[in-house]
Structure 1
Amino acid sequence: MGLLKGYTKQEISWMMYDWANSAHSVIIVTILPIFFDSVAECTADSVSSMSTWGYATSIAMAIVALSAPFLGVFGDIRGMRKKLFGIFLGLGVLSVAGLAFTPLMDFTSSTDAAGRVAMFILALYILSTIGFDASCIYYDAFLTDITTEDRMDRVSTLGYGLGYIGGSTIPLVIFLVMNLVGIDMLICLSFIFAFTAVWWLVFSLPLLKNCQQKGGKPYEKGDVGRNIRGVVSTVKEIGRNKPMLIYIIAYFFYIDGVHTVISMSTTYGTNLGLDSTGMLLALLLVQVLGLPFCLLYMKLSAKFGARTMVGVGICVYMFICVFGFFLRSLWQFWVLAVLCATSQGGIQALSRSMFGKLIPDKERSGEFFGFFDIFGKFSSIIGPTLVGIVSATVANSMLTSQGLTAATATAEQVDAINAASSPYGILSILIIVALGGGLYFFLLPKYLKQSGKKL
């Protein structure tokens, strides 16, 4: 493949994990919520399934975020990074494989049956998300092992681009084709969840085979306790490193908009009553456009700098939050999809490589990426939780104003209230993105100038 010409075997193997895990990102994060919404409609309390999904996402992110610094520290022990990567990869793959059975379960016979299936889906979704995000801690840490600082922007960005044309596109195309030729939707869902698990595992093998951890201290008795205590000293070290501290706090806020839009988009569209096939075709467009826009970000970052291009991405997502509030029709969802495609991969890839360049001791990259991950995951807790709280609060207020309750409202009334309350949840994300943008644009340059560091 000419696109990979000039990259080393380790760099290509590392990038293939983006190709592998992107199947989870598009199938589990965007299609599973649509299926969950169908199951939730059969439960006793079907009001604001968007908030339930947001809470489940927040629980998964909280578990990873709280454990990330410790997971990262243990990944810096010699020989442990790949082993821990494999453990969490296995957890994610097995959980997604378990989801393949859920569409075949009986969830229409009673509200109790629907409730059990809904809880099973949420449990497997949480476990798969933990496996996905924890494995990415070690995947990100491998970036400093497999390439040099001057190549990080290119390698990181192309990795995201390969994810778009591979795992983000091919499984989705297969699902859409199966659906369009008339195969039963539940059968399609069961197959594609199983296919995603296999895809994720198979294309992770190059990293497991070819990428090696550089450095790292050998394990010694008492290392577990020392490493846990060492997390506190690393916090202090980050606190003294002002450019890293300001950057990671800004990242905490602005990346929230990216993650929340990704995880809540199809749930939001479903609550608005948009056609699910139309939304999935729009998401397919995002994946098709993802690679060229990643390559564009890569070229522009070489000319203008990664910091400038991340700033462009922040501005795009601020506009997306406002545009999403006014979204009411499918064509507008397509416009939103194109807007996301322009910056979704670029802002994440360049944020990752920018942090990699800020790490003072590359042999401790797992430790530092653990903290990077905790900030990224806690932002993913705040966003979906905020969307869930605002959507549920507005929905309950509308119910009360109409003299209704979740038990007395008809299905049509519930749908109308969900459609009317959901935009307020999406708009609330703007607050968080704006906070991150303020730190990024106005405070970070000051400390970078003082330290003499260029990004």
Structure 2
Amino acid sequence: MAHQKMTKAEKSWIVYDVGNSALVLLATSVIPIYFSSLSPDGEVVVAWSYAETVASLIIALLMPVLGSIADMQGMKKKFIVGCVGTGVVATVALGFVTTALAFLVIYVISSVALNSSMVFYDALLVDTTTDERMDEISSQGYAWGYIGSCVPFIACLGVVLGYEALGITMQTAMQIAFIITGVWWAAFTVPLLKNVQQLHFKPRAPHAVANAVRGLAVTLREIWANQAIRYYMIAYFFYIDGVHTIIKLSTSYGTELGIDSTQLVLALLVTQFVAFPSAIIYGRLSSKYGTRRMLLIAIAAYFGITLFAAFFLRSAAEFWFLAILVGMFQGGIQALSRSEFGKLCPKERANEYFGFFDIFGKYAAILGTFLVGTFTALTGNSSLGVLSIAVLFVVGFVTMLRVPESTEA
């Protein structure tokens, strides 16, 4: 299939991923390490797991209602402005708190804002491109997000690792890092707001909130009645659980194993560079072999990654190997999950449907981080906590096999 030139709207949609991914990368690497320096009792994995759980729960409860309202004419971009504005302020504020509890509270606010903006952004995919190009554009978004986020991240890393040479304190270095990340996120939101128009929408109606809440049960029944969407969302719930949990807790887990923090951060940077071409390749392979088949391959790969992390990950070299493996499949599984759902859902109600899509992802993240935190706390062994994730990939794989073949790209 010939790859046609991207439109201005498609490019503008893609670059938002470049903007918000800077905070995603910082949150999975430097932020947990910085938090551990604020946390005197050393229970880093448990505290961080429960903070992520709270953030996920808030997003999961908010998104279907806000999504339904955002489907109304001209509302998607207004919600993005609100989320990005709140998120940027909270991100900058992270550098100006000195207690672990205050840091976790502000982190939860920034995480809720970031992930909420992603739901509205994902739903704009149906306004940006055609069904035939969704796998390609979604994959490009993740790919450029991975590579683009490295620019501010390397700048942040230079300041944080070289704070003594710069003659500043560690806290000042973190303040600069959070400001760089916030400004980057805001700047790359502008093209999306300027060049992507909401083409699919519901007409505006009075009592929007009340109608949205009442309509949730109807939408849930519609989702359950559609066999393709039903099995797809159940499968997604389980396998994306493992993906999110690995992303969120890898640095904390590595720290607990005694791996040097610099090694952890550099290995995660390698993940970004590997993920850039891998996500694009995955998007193109899906047009040849089918989206469902490529998702099954990625789920199976993640099952293997989880076993490796639980049984064999002990040294920095093994963490680097794991980072490369994750990079090969992370972008592909996320991008194709998003585009496949975009093809399945009704376009004029994309935000509402993506709200439920996100609820499945966020409640799964609650389950994953809770499992790891609880198993680690009960057994005193974080490897057993990691092992608890593997079964979720098995359930996701088996359920994905039930998704009808007609949903192939």
Could you say whether these structures have the same fold, taking a TM-score greater than 0.5 normalized by the shorter chain as the test? yes
CA-to-aligned-CA distance 1:242-294 (integer Å, 9 cap, x gap): 11000001000001111111100100011111100011110111111111111
Q: Residue type of the partner of 1:23? A: A
Residues 1:159 and 2:144 are matched in the alignment: no
2:368–2:389 CA contact under 8 A, matched in 1? yes
Q: Give the secondary-structure state (helix, strand or coil) at the position aligned to 1:166.
A: helix
Q: Residue type of the partner of 1:15? A: I
Alpha-carbon distance in 2 for matches of 1:189, 1:78: 40
Q: Residue type of the partner of 2:241? A: D
Residues 1:141 and 2:123 are matched in the alignment: yes
Q: Residue type of the partner of 2:176? A: F
2:94–2:106 CA contact under 8 A, matched in 1? yes
Q: For structure 1, which runs of at least 5 residues remain unmatched after alignment? A: 106-116, 396-420
Residues 1:454 and 2:408 are matched in the alignment: yes
Residues 1:345 and 2:331 are matched in the alignment: yes
Counterpart of 1:401 in structure 2 is: none
Pick aligned residue for 1:87 from 82, 89, 98: 82
CA 323–375 in structure 1, closer or farther in 2 if over 3 Å, else same? same
Q: Residue type of the partner of 1:166? A: G
Higher Cα Rg, which structure: 1
Q: Residue type of the partner of 1:172? A: F
CA-to-aligned-CA distance 1:157-179 (integer Å, 9 cap, x gap): 00000001112x11221133335
Q: Give the secondary-structure state (helix, strand or coil) at the position aligned to 1:215.
A: coil
Counterpart of 1:22 in structure 2 is: 21
Match runs of 1:101-250 below 5 Å: 101-102=96-97, 105=98, 117-167=99-149, 169-181=150-162, 182-183=165-166, 184-250=169-235
1:60–1:127 CA contact under 8 A, matched in 2? yes
Pick aligned residue for 1:49 from 36, 44, 66: 44
Counterpart of 1:64 in structure 2 is: 59
Q: Give the secondary-structure state (helix, strand or coil) at the position aligned to 1:190.
A: helix
Alpha-carbon distance in 1 for matches of 2:173, 2:262: 13
Pick aligned residue for 2:394 from 426, 434, 441: 434
Query: How many residue pairs end up in the alignment?
Result: 402
Alpha-carbon distance in 1 for matches of 2:373, 2:347: 39
Counterpart of 1:335 in structure 2 is: 321
Q: For structure 2, which runs of at least 5 residues remain unmatched after alignment? A: none
**Structure 2-normalised TM-score?**
0.95
Counterpart of 2:284 in structure 1 is: 299
Q: Residue type of the partner of 2:370? A: T
Q: Residue type of the partner of 2:408? A: K
How far residue 180 of structure 1 moved from its aligned partner, in angstroms, is: 5.0
Q: Residue type of the partner of 1:124? A: I
Alpha-carbon distance in 1 for matches of 2:304, 2:20: 28
Q: Residue type of the partner of 1:98? A: A
1:27–1:171 CA contact under 8 A, matched in 2? no
Alpha-carbon distance in 1 for matches of 2:29, 2:60: 22
Q: Residue type of the partner of 2:34? A: F
Pick aligned residue for 1:275 from 257, 260, 274: 260
How far residue 122 of structure 1 moved from its aligned partner, in angstroms, is: 0.4
Q: Residue type of the partner of 1:170? A: V
Q: Give the secondary-structure state (helix, strand or coil) at the position aligned to 2:408.
A: coil
Alpha-carbon distance in 2 for matches of 1:176, 1:427: 31
Q: Residue type of the partner of 1:142? A: L
- The root-mean-square deviation of aligned C-alpha atoms, in Å, is 1.5
Alpha-carbon distance in 2 for matches of 1:118, 1:344: 30
Alpha-carbon distance in 1 for matches of 2:156, 2:63: 33
Q: Residue type of the partner of 1:364? A: R
**Structure 1-normalised TM-score?**
0.86
CA-to-aligned-CA distance 1:361-389 (integer Å, 9 cap, x gap): 21111111111111011111111111000
How far residue 186 of structure 1 moved from its aligned partner, in angstroms, is: 3.4
How far residue 342 of structure 1 moved from its aligned partner, in angstroms, is: 0.3
How far residue 85 of structure 1 moved from its aligned partner, in angstroms, is: 1.3
How far residue 347 of structure 1 moved from its aligned partner, in angstroms, is: 0.4
Q: Give the secondary-structure state (helix, strand or coil) at the position aligned to 2:389.
A: helix
Identity across matched positions, percent: 43
Q: Residue type of the partner of 2:106? A: L
Match runs of 1:238-387 below 5 Å: 238-325=223-310, 326-359=312-345, 361-387=346-372
